[in-house]
Amino acid sequence: MVPVFNDKKLEILMILGEKLSGDMFTHDDINLLGIISNQLAVSIKNAQLYKDKVHSERLASIGMMSATFAHEIRNPLTSLKTFAQLMPEKYNDPEFRDSFSKIVEGEIERIDGLISDLLDFSMEKKSSRTNYFDLVSLLDETVNYVKEKLDFEKKNIGIEKNYGISAMKMSGDATNLKQAFINLLTNGCQAMNGEGKLKVDINTDKKHVEIAITDTGEGIDPDDISKIFDPFVTTKEMGIGLGLAISKRIVEDHKGSIHVKSQLSKGTTFTISLPVQI
């Protein structure tokens, strides 16, 4: 009998019959069987480690995705909740009703988009929502949407639009790109503590289209700047630290890149560069 142990646990018991020649087992035979047993133990260990690694990577990616969805769904839910709470007292205010219907519809669309992503993910495929859209209109819609929210929250933040182009046709996932813009605009507003200026630029050199979002907020410490795109890096009490990681992934899914420049106490500029499509 030749036992094969893995971490002191008996994994396999090889039961040998007689040798074909009918001879007795020699010392050399027994040594060889010992080597085979050790090699088998190493192979079993490796297979197990590989299985554990695949399993833990899958768990980590599911964890990351769940945290992403929790993060992205919480924002629209918070704003829906605020509106619902204000509804009874403000129902007769036409301005409120107007922004209510716009914002509620927008937030429901965002949640709907996230659910599509979740379904795509569970079927292990990438976002499949490719559509044709105008990038300048998409950016402008997003900026107006953030402006509505700032006005509603009575924030003293001005938005300056500097559009060097009036249209830019693109194909891609418009809902995701909108999410990336919202994440950057929201960070800019949060960095200004309710007061300052948010500048939105869009320009092209014919090869790339660049969208720059500049705030006059607190800026980023040079020691932290290399980490801010990593998941779960946050300096905010209520932050999860996923906004930038998600935005970077979305931009890279569109074959683009994202950069940051910042000066402490002066402000920050995030620039998204996307390839122009012909």
Ligand X SMILES: Nc1ncnc2c1ncn2[C@@H]1O[C@H](COP(=O)(O)OP(=O)(O)OP(=O)(O)O)[C@@H](O)[C@H]1O
**Minimum distance of ligand X from residue 152's CB (angstroms):** 19
- Range in contact with ligand X (rule: CB under 6 A) among 4-12, 55-63, 162-170, 242-250: 242-250
Tell which one of 68, 79, 187, 262 touches Mg ion (CB under 5 A): 187
Kindly state whether residue 217 participates in binding Mg ion, applying the rule CB under 5 A. Answer: no
Looking only at the bridges linking them, the beta strands covering 156-163 and 195-204 are parallel
**Minimum distance of Mg ion from residue 230's CB (angstroms):** 13
Tell which one of 106, 113, 172, 188 touches ligand X (CB under 6 A): 188
* Beta partners for residue 200, in sequence order: 161, 213
Size of the site for ligand X (CB under 6 A): 23
Q: Is 267 left (phi over 0), alpha (psi -120 to 50) or beta?
A: left
Name the nearest CA neighbour of 7 among 33, 39, 32, 44. Answer: 44
- Range in contact with ligand X (rule: CB under 6 A) among 11-19, 138-146, 169-177, 218-226: 218-226
- Give the CB-nearest residue to ligand X: 243
- Give the CB-nearest residue to Mg ion: 243
- Nearer CB in complex with ligand X: 234/257: 234
Distance CA 178, CA 272 (A): 12
C-alpha distances in Å from residue 24, one per residue of 20, 21, 28, 148, 254:
10, 9, 11, 90, 70
How crowded is residue 204: how many other Cβ atoms within 10 Å of its Cβ?
Answer: 16
Contact characters 235-274, Mg ion, x per CB under 5 A: --------x-------------------------------
Tell which one of 157, 185, 198, 240 touches ligand X (CB under 6 A): 240
Contact characters 133-172, ligand X, x per CB under 6 A: ----------------------------------------
- Nearer CB in complex with ligand X: 29/195: 195
* Residue 68 contact partner, candidates Mg ion, ligand X, none, CB within 5 to 8 A by sort of partner: none
Distance CA 19, CA 37 (A): 18
**Minimum distance of ligand X from residue 71's CB (angstroms):** 5
Tokens of 83: 């509106």
Largest CA distance in the chain: 102
Tokens of 163: 């559009």
Strand locations in 135-250 (E): 156-163, 169-172, 195-204, 208-215
Handedness of CA 205, 207, 209, 215 (dihedral sign): negative
**Minimum distance of Mg ion from residue 119's CB (angstroms):** 25
Tokens of 119: 């379904």
Contact residues for ligand X (CB under 6 A)?
71, 183, 187-188, 191, 215, 217-220, 228, 233-236, 239-245, 268
